[in-house]
Amino acid sequence: MPNTPLVATLDRHGQFRVHAATCADAADPYRQHTDPFPVQARTRRDIAAELSHDLIEEGSLTIDEALDYVDFLPCCNPLLLDEPETAARR
């Protein structure tokens, strides 16, 4: 199952929702504002950075702040990689 693709959608409130590509909710037009689009990253921080890269690059948002705008649904939890252990986070 770790090779199952992840997809993200944007809900009507501006919140990214990350799903397993096989999740029926990802394609439900009543729950999503956008069609599902692929996500390449596999850790929560990397996914948040991928989805919010423009705002992070311009300095409007940090990765930690971007995490507040991403909802990781239960269907994607088995597909996520563990965060690397680091002494200090940026």
Q: How far apart are CA 52 and CA 16, in angstroms?
A: 10
Residue 10 host element (H or E): strand 6-10
Helix and strand totals (H; E) in the chain:
3, 4
- Residue 84: inside a domain, yes or no? no
- Residue 86: inside a domain, yes or no? no
Nearest CA among 88, 66, 82, 73 for reference residue 7: 73
What does the pLDDT profile of the chain (90 residues) look like in tens digits?
Answer: 456 789 998 888 888 999 998 888 887 777 777 888 999 999 999 999 999 999 999 999 999 999 999 999 999 988 888 877 654 444
- Residue 89: inside a domain, yes or no? no
Give me the pLDDT at residue 2, please. 52
Question: Number of structural domains, the chain?
Answer: 1
DSSP 5: P
Give me the pLDDT at residue 30, please. 75
Q: What's the predicted TM-score (pTM) here?
A: 0.82
Give me the pLDDT at residue 72, please. 94
- Residue 90: inside a domain, yes or no? no
Judging by DSSP bridges, how do beta strands 16-20 and 37-39 pair with one another?
A: unpaired
- Residue 70: inside a domain, yes or no? yes
Domain that holds residue 18: 6-77
